[in-house]
Amino acid sequence: MALAKIRNFIDNSLKTVSTPLDRTVNLEPEIGIRIMHSSNDKTLNVTVLGARHLPQNFGFTRVNSYVVKVKLIPGKDKFETTSRNESWPQWNEEFVFPLRKETKQKFGKSKVVEEEINGSRFIVATLYAILEDKPLIATEKKESEKTSPTKEAPKKGGKKKEDQSTSSDNQESTKNKLLSQFFGKNSDKLAESTATERRAYDKRRTVGATTIPLDPKNFVCKPPKSKHTSDVSTGDLWKPLRPIASGISGAEERKENKKGQVELSLCLSKGEKDEDSGGQLILSLNRLRCSLQTMHEHEGLKGQMYLKMSVVESGRITHFWKSDRFTPTVSMKFSPETARVVADNPYKGALNDVSFVVKFVSKNKMGKKTPVGHFVIGPDVGGAYGEQWKQALAKPGQQITKWQAFE
């Protein structure tokens, strides 16, 4: 009887839990956004409330602070919050996007354009984690110890060598000063500022992003402090942080994978005489997607990542494309016009001995390469890899886009 009463009490208490408490039970990273539309002022006010359930570590490195970037799409306006060093940061920072803009035309004329709020426009909020300089644990020797020369005991005549080195350093400094006077005084300052900005961006890691469509149906609340009675608001919205959908057909077929996955498009261009000859088989890369846990594992490799696509013909690599090295990330876009490899199809049956190999590799500062995953797309491959190949050959001229996971 006592156990039955306890069970009934637990079931009833779970049913009466409110929705805000249900959201806090979710341990996924979330971000709070409030959007207000003022038709009188022709502005869109976006308030970044805060974030919760954020990761405190990335691999062996601790997170120092968090930053949120807000952007209106389509549009060029974007804003960034201040950095907060809390796992549950609270910003409450408001950013104003003007909807009335003045566009310049030819012959010195200008035109005022008022942008409307509809479902085709949306707000994108991206949250970044800024890492600390020092790792949590020292698993390897410090790079400074590896790169810095060992101090030797002073030998005979050491004083003269030190004096010579100091004099040469002074000569180089004077030369640099003269060059800076001739070619610009602020060149050193600009170089230092760009270097510091680059270091700051190298420490950033993308936690995730959320997309909020500006559908008039979402503006159902009245803001508590508003200048005009016609102002409407979405209220406090808590959205999970996830990679932004690419919008390409086949994106819904993606699945989570422990090593990551890429979105690829395979197309067989039509030939002039025959559908099976005279064209080219083109494999292009659209984007990379990894889970948060996968990115933590990539951070543990202590290196930068890169993707490589190769054309293998009769066991020999004929063409390949390799991306620039990048830091571990949740989501990354590529340009399909440049991120591509092409296999020629001069005659019927020429593609029987051709396949595409896609590799995901990590390379550290010492030059050591660690393979993360790979897969092959070709005629003799089963599963989703072979299915994309068959569909591309069966439908010449059509882009067959699919998410493929690394093995």
Give the chain as a 3 state SS string: CHHHHHHHHHHHHHHCCCHHHHHHHCCCCEEEEEEEEECCCCEEEEEEEEEECCCCEECCEEEEEEEEEEEEECCCCEEECCCECCCCCEEEEEEEEECEEEEECHHHCEEEEECCCCCCCEEEEEEEEEEEEEECCCCCCCHHHHHCCCCCCCCCCHHHHHHHHHHHHHHHHHHHHHHHHHHCCCHHHHHHHHHHHHHHHHCEEEEEEEEEECCHHHCCECCCCCCCCCCEECCCEEEECECCCCCCCCHHHCCCCCCCEEEEEEEECCCCCCCCCCEEEEEEEEEEECCHHHHHHHHHCCCEEEEEEEEEECCEEEEEEECCCECCCCEEECCCCCCEEEEEECCCCHHHHEEEEEEEEEECCCCCEEEEEEEEECCCCCHHHHHHHHHHHHCCCCCEEEEEECC
CATH number at residue 72: 2.60.40.150
Same domain, 318 and 337: yes
One domain for residues 102 and 213: yes
Residue 213 domain flag? yes
pLDDT for residue 271: 62
**251: in domain:** yes
Structural domain contains residue 388: yes
Co-location of 130 and 274 in the same domain: no
Residue 296: CB atoms within 10 A of its CB come to 18
Domain membership flag for residue 17: no
Is residue 84 situated within a structural domain?
yes
CA distance 283 to 267: 7
Query: 125 with 254, same domain?
Result: no
Residue 220: predicted pLDDT: 87
- In this structure, are 236 and 310 located in the same domain? no
Query: 2: phi > 0 → left, psi -120 to 50 → alpha, else beta; which?
Result: alpha
- pLDDT score recorded for residue 156: 44
Looking at residue 150, its pLDDT comes to 44
Taking CA atoms, 192 is separated from 131, 133, 234, in Å, by 21, 18, 43
pLDDT of 362: 92
Range of the domain at 220: 30-136+200-240
Report the share of the chain in percent with pLDDT over 70.
Answer: 67
Q: Of the candidates 213, 240, 267, which is a domain's last residue?
A: 240
Is there a single domain that holds both residue 208 and residue 267? no
List pLDDT tens digits, range 153-182.
Answer: 444 444 444 444 445 555 555 555 554 554
**224 and 249 fall within a common domain:** no
* Distance between CA atoms of residues 108 and 62, nearest Å: 54
Domain termination residue (choose one: 240, 263, 296): 240
How many residues are recorded in the chain? Answer: 407
Bridge partners for 97 per DSSP: 44
Query: In this predicted structure, what is the pLDDT of residue 330?
Result: 76
307 lies in some domain = yes
pLDDT tens by residue, 384-395: 899 999 999 888
pTM: 0.51
For residues 313 and 332, membership in a common domain is answered with yes
State the Cα–Cα distance between residues 345 and 151, nearest whole angstrom: 61
- Whether residue 262 sits in one domain with residue 336: yes
Give the pairing type, strands 78-80 and 261-268: unpaired
Give residue 174's Cα distance to chain centre.
44
Instruction: Report the chain (407 residues): mean pLDDT per 10 consecutive residues.
Output: 58 43 60 91 92 81 89 86 89 91 67 72 87 60 45 44 48 54 53 56 78 88 84 91 51 56 90 60 90 78 90 90 86 88 83 91 89 91 89 90 91
Residues 228 and 266 grouped into a single domain = no
9 falls within a domain: no
What's the number of domains the chain is made of?
2
- Bin 315: left if φ > 0, else alpha if -120 < ψ < 50, else beta: left
Residue 21 pLDDT: 34
Quick one: 343 and 232 in the same domain?
no
- Domain end point (choices 240, 267, 294): 240
CA–CA gap between residue 322 and residue 325 (Å, rounded) = 9
- Do residues 333 and 289 share a domain? yes
Cα–Cα distances (Å) from 144 to 135, 149, 195, 252, 383, in that order, read 14, 9, 19, 46, 47
Cα 403–chain centre separation: 17
Tell me, yes or no, whether 125 lies in a domain: yes
Q: Give dist(CA 119, CA 122) in Å, integer.
A: 7
Identify whether the C-beta of residue 130 lies closer than 8 Å to the C-beta of residue 80.
Answer: no
Quote the tokens at residue 382. 């089963």
Which token pair is 289?
Answer: 């997607």
Cα distances (angstroms) measured from residue 352 to each of 178, 284, 349: 65, 20, 6
